[in-house]
């Protein structure tokens, strides 16, 4: 039989691969390739910058900067929401918080190397119906990277980045360090970041003191910090707390008896959230921001970027004295309600006629309000919005009571008018020699009125408070002495007319001593001195004593017809108590980074410049006793029992502004009182600077003198210049002033009776605005003389892990390797 012949074109039959298998391998290999590609691209920062190994070993999470007073008291913080945290180490966190976190968020935390494959697979298969697959380490990576896109594709890419960072975190940190990092980083309810702030905010205690009930509330928030907020969603928070407690029982951290007890226990909320309105000296802390930005200009943080006061965890040490700050605020709260009652009783305020021809002010305030902006965004017309401002609604408004607010019903339009009719004040205290600012009050209530009246940029007409500068120049450059006899007559200036314009003292008037003219604030005598000095020369003198504002050369400047700030006036007045040196007010002693390294130190000596001779300065301090003994602030020095002090009142046209500046050998303080709108004023007050502003200054000094711990002494005297006795005032200043001058026209004349300056002490006590911003039991930093370190808040934080606790591997080698046990230490298991 012949063999079968093959057809020459026929190929051997090869078994065909199933189509489905081919598709599978294509998808698998394609997916694997895509996965590797995405990983490589992520590694090289294509999808956004990845933190380096060094940054992971020493992560610098956003951290609030803290402001400290001179005694180390925490005054407040600067932060954006995510940066408001104070880190704590693992050992300073209650074990109940740790256990609740592990039991609820990552049961296999101690058994995986950053990624829980089982939980991830379950989440993928069940589409997240039984929870996500992210481990605590992955959640930390997400927080450190600031991720959480709503876009699906972007979120998938973010997940890959989180996988990479999670594994690298596990390679370089212990489980304890990762836990502490996580709790310090995450957000709790009410935009509170970090376990310490959360513990303080919701329970007013440190995190190491939290019990299982409290710990389960905080951990429960992490699932949904809005839904499970115990402040306003008590039922949901309570139920979530009990779920967490159930997980703690399931994982063996609590017994059934304990869980039953805590489940039946209500949430022991003790809520106190710190914000920009709380803490010490809120007006001061706001102006400090600008000073810090200037001080840090050109400096870089360890990452090579400009310092950010909101995120870099700086520690700012200031010159503020917390006790003086409290006394300053108390002095404001004692006087301002009295003045407000006087203004409210005024006919034009009661009838509303004070606003006649000023409706444009109210319209501008309406358009600047949040209500207007919100309604504008909703599409309402201007006419519709204005109508809504005339509809009565329930609201809270500022009031002079212990809570500094009251509930009422009024139209938004009336509320704007009500608040603009509030009398305001600015008060500043400093050391006249060094320039150190001791207290700063920018207004009557920072929560309601943010405008700072002590700020260098807030300028008002200064009135007669400018006269001491003119008198000092006349003594320094024109040979005048306190005994010099000067005419009390209006003066004519070519091209400017009569000064004062009222021409009250035209004709023959008796001469007065220079000391008497200053004591009684005689305008015509001051005009005469301006003519001797010269308007241009006086403007130059103000520049010489370092008044920053350029003052145009007008004869009326002799009467204070110029706008300057409280800050500038304090700078100017420092030449008297400072022995002829002009001392710029300053309030930062040093700035440290988050690790306590000094970034910048401030030397007060650089702020001092000689402006007038020591003899002129001393003679002016003696001559300024006149206003506080016999003049426009008569009896002040005697009532305080001070051996020596000086002072000067100031009042502007129609009582729009009241000023008082006074100083002892150790302390200088200045006060401004008025309304933000100059057409609103107390019309009936005589001697406005003496009756409105002086009582604040006097009350403050009474408190300071009575507090022996402050070291401000009644018997302190101004140092006499050596070997220049022949040029000094000798004897009693009052004898130089002479008899009281009838009908003295100075705008600042006061009656001199002590009763005129008595405060109303029968009203409700209103506490100072400054309050301790944190738990009073928290330790204060210990300060050392001349060389101080910031308190190591969070010392031992995971952000500064010791070298011997880390494994430092190469950039690529350490990416996907599991974490080795250190020195034979076995990670704790989840029993």
Residue 738 confidence (pLDDT) = 59
- What's the gap between Cα 126 and its chain centre? 49
Residue 314 near residue 591 (C-beta atoms within 8 A): yes
Tell me the mean pLDDT in the region 355-359.
93
Gap between the Cα atoms of 554 and 565, Å rounded: 18
Determine the 3-state secondary structure of 646 from DSSP. Answer: strand
Residue 145 near residue 158 (C-beta atoms within 8 A): yes
Residue 734 confidence (pLDDT) = 66
For residue 429, give both structure tokens. Answer: 């205290």
Looking at the chain, the whole-number percentage of residues with pLDDT higher than 90 is 55
For residue 211, give both structure tokens. Answer: 């019990």
Does the pLDDT at position 12 exceed 70?
no
Residue 132 confidence (pLDDT) = 55
Q: Which residues touch 761 (CB under 8 Å, ≥6 apart)?
A: 334
pLDDT tens profile 494-512: 888 888 876 677 666 789 9
- ω into residue 650 within 30 of 0, thus cis? no
Nearest to 468 by CA among 646, 633, 690: 646
Query: Between residues 200 and 130, which one has the greater pLDDT?
Result: 200
Residue 170 near residue 137 (C-beta atoms within 8 A): yes
Highest mean pLDDT among 29-33, 215-219, 301-305, 794-798: 215-219
pLDDT tens profile 547-585: 999 999 999 999 999 999 999 999 999 999 999 999 999
Gap between the Cα atoms of 427 and 483, Å rounded: 33
Residue 822 confidence (pLDDT) = 37
Q: Which helix (H) or strand (E) holds 29?
A: helix 19-43
What's the pLDDT band for 665 if we cut at 50, 70, 90?
A: very high
- Which DSSP category does 689 fall into? I
What's the pLDDT band for 782 if we cut at 50, 70, 90?
A: very low
Residue 754 confidence (pLDDT) = 36
CA angle at residue 155 from 154 to 157, to 5 degrees?
65
What's the pLDDT band for 406 if we cut at 50, 70, 90?
A: very high
CA 200 vs CA 67, 196, 230, 272, 775: distances in Å: 18, 6, 14, 7, 7
Residue 173 confidence (pLDDT) = 84
Gap between the Cα atoms of 168 and 543, Å rounded: 61
Gap between the Cα atoms of 627 and 471, Å rounded: 14
Determine the 3-state secondary structure of 397 from DSSP. Answer: strand
Residue 620 near residue 472 (C-beta atoms within 8 A): yes
Residue 186 confidence (pLDDT) = 86
Question: Which residue intervals of 207-321 are DSSP H helices?
Answer: 212-221, 234-250, 256-263, 282-295
Least confident piece of the model among 72-86, 183-197, 760-774: 760-774
Sign of CA dihedral 285, 287, 292, 293: positive
Residue 108 confidence (pLDDT) = 83
Residue environment code for 592-623, b if the CB has 16+ CB neighbours within 10 A, otherwise e = bbbbeeebeebebeebbeebbbbbbbbbbbbb
Average pLDDT across the chain, whole number: 81
In DSSP terms, 805 is beta-bridged to none
Gap between the Cα atoms of 193 and 183, Å rounded: 9
Residue 547 near residue 554 (C-beta atoms within 8 A): no
Looking at the chain, the whole-number percentage of residues with pLDDT higher than 70 is 74
pLDDT tens profile 43-102: 555 445 556 555 555 555 567 889 999 999 999 888 765 556 677 889 999 999 999 999
How buried is residue 778: exposed, middle or buried, by Cβ count under 10 Å (0-12/13-18/19+)? middle
pTM: 0.73
- What's the gap between Cα 1 and its chain centre? 110
How buried is residue 60: exposed, middle or buried, by Cβ count under 10 Å (0-12/13-18/19+)? middle
- Which DSSP category does 766 fall into? -
Does the pLDDT at position 758 exceed 50?
no
Highest mean pLDDT among 60-69, 107-116, 219-228, 744-753: 219-228
What's the pLDDT band for 817 if we cut at 50, 70, 90?
A: very low
DSSP string, 324-363: HHHHHHHHHHHHHHHHHHHHHTSHHHHHSGGGTT-HHHHH
Does the pLDDT at position 209 exceed 60?
yes
pLDDT tens profile 213-242: 999 999 999 988 888 999 888 999 999 999
Residue 39 confidence (pLDDT) = 55
| Cα dihedral 672→571→667→724 (10° resolution) | -130
Query: Between residues 790 and 493, which one has the greater pLDDT?
Result: 493
Antiparallel, parallel or unpaired: β 393-397 and 406-410: antiparallel
Highest mean pLDDT among 190-199, 329-338, 733-742: 329-338
Q: Which residues touch 329 (CB under 8 Å, ≥6 apart)?
A: 441, 768, 769, 770
DSSP string, 707-759: -GGG---TT--PPPPTT-GGGS--S-HHHHH-SPPTT---TT-----GGGG--
Residue 384 confidence (pLDDT) = 93
pLDDT tens profile 428-482: 999 999 999 999 999 999 999 999 999 999 999 999 999 999 999 999 999 999 9
For residue 41, give both structure tokens. Answer: 């691209």
DSSP string, 493-508: ETTTEEESTT-TT-S-
Does the pLDDT at position 202 exceed 90?
yes
């Amino acid at each position: 039989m012949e063999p079968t012949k093959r057809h020459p074109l026929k190929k051997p039959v090869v078994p065909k691969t199933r189509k489905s298998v081919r598709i599978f391998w294509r998808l698998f290999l394609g997916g694997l390739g895509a996965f590797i590609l995405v990983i490589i691209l992520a590694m090289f920062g294509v999808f956004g910058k990845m933190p380096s190994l060094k940054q992971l070993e020493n992560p610098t999470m956003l951290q609030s900067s803290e402001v400290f007073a001179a005694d180390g008291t925490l005054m407040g913080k600067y932060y954006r929401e995510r940066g408001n945290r104070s880190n704590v180490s693992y050992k300073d966190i209650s074990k109940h918080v740790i256990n609740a976190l592990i039991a609820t968020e990552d049961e296999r935390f101690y058994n995986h190397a950053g990624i829980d494959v089982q939980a991830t697979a379950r989440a993928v298969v069940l589409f997240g119906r039984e929870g996500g697959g992210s481990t605590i380490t992955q959640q930390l990576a997400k927080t450190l990277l600031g991720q959480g896109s709503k876009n699906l594709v972007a979120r998938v890419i973010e997940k890959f980045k989180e996988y990479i960072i999670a594994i690298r975190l596990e390679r370089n940190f212990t489980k304890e360090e990762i836990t502490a990092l996580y709790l310090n980083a995450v957000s709790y309810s009410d935009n509170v970041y970090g376990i310490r702030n959360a513990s303080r905010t919701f329970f007013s205690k440190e995190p190491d003191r939290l019990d299982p009930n409290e710990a389960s509330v905080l951990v429960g928030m992490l699932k949904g910090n809005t839904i499970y907020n115990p402040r306003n969603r008590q039922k949901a928070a309570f139920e979530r707390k009990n779920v967490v407690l159930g997980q703690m029982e399931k994982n063996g951290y609590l017994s059934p008896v304990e869980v039953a007890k805590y489940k039946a226990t209500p949430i022991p909320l003790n809520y106190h959230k710190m914000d920009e309105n709380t803490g010490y000296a809120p007006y001061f802390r706001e102006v400090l921001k600008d000073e810090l930005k200037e001080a840090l200009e050109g400096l870089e943080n360890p990452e090579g970027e400009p310092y950010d006061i909101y995120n870099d965890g700086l520690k700012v040490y200031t010159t503020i004295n917390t006790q003086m700050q409290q006394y300053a605020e108390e002095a404001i709260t004692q006087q301002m309600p009295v003045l407000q009652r006087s203004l409210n009783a005024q006919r034009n305020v009661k009838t509303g006629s004070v606003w006649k021809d000023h409706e444009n002010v109210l319209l501008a305030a309406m358009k600047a309000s949040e209500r207007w902006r919100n309604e504008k965004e909703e599409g309402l017309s201007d006419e519709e919005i204005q109508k809504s401002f005339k509809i009565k609604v329930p609201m809270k408004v500022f009031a002079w009571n212990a809570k500094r607010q009251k509930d009422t019903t009024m139209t938004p339009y009336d509320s704007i008018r009500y608040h603009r009719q509030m009398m305001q004040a600015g008060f500043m205290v400093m050391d006249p020699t060094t320039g150190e600012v001791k207290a700063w009050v920018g207004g009557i209530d920072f929560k309601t009125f943010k405008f700072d009246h002590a700020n260098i940029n807030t300028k008002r007409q200064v009135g007669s408070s400018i006269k001491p500068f003119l008198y000092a120049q006349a003594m320094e450059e024109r040979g005048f002495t306190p005994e010099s006899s000067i005419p009390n007559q209006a003066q004519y200036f070519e091209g400017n007319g009569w000064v004062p314009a009222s021409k009250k003292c035209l004709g023959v008037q008796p001469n007065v001593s220079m000391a008497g003219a200053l004591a009684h604030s005689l305008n015509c005598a001051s005009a005469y001195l301006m003519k001797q000095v010269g308007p241009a020369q006086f403007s130059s003198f103000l520049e010489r004593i370092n008044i920053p504002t350029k003052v145009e050369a007008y004869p009326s400047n002799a009467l204070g017809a110029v706008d300057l700030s409280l800050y500038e006036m304090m700078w100017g007045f420092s030449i008297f108590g400072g022995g002829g040196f002009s001392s710029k007010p300053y309030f930062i002693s040093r700035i440290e980074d988050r690790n306590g390294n000094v970034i910048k130190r401030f030397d007060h000596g650089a702020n001092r410049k000689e402006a007038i001779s020591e003899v002129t300065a001393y003679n002016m301090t003696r001559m300024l006793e006149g206003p506080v003994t016999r003049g426009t602030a008569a009896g002040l020095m005697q009532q305080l029992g001070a051996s020596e002090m000086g002072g000067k009142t100031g009042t502007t046209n129609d009582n729009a502004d009241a000023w008082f500046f006074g100083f002892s050998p150790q302390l200088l303080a200045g006060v401004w009182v008025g309304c933000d709108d100059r057409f609103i004023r107390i019309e009936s007050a005589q001697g406005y600077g003496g009756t409105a502003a002086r009582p604040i200054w006097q009350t403050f000094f009474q408190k300071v003198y009575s507090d022996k711990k402050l070291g401000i002494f009644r018997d302190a005297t101004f140092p006499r210049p050596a070997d220049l006795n022949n040029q000094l005032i000798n004897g009693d200043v009052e004898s130089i002033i002479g008899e009281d001058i009838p009908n003295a026209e100075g705008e600042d004349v006061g009656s001199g009776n002590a009763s005129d300056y008595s405060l109303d002490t029968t009203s409700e006590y209103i506490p100072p605005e400054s309050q301790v911003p944190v738990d009073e039991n928290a330790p204060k930093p210990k300060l050392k003389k001349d060389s101080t370190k910031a308190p190591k808040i969070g010392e031992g934080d995971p952000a500064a892990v010791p070298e011997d606790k880390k494994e430092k591997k190469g950039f690529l080698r350490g990416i996907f390797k599991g974490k080795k046990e250190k020195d034979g230490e076995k990670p704790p298991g989840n029993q």
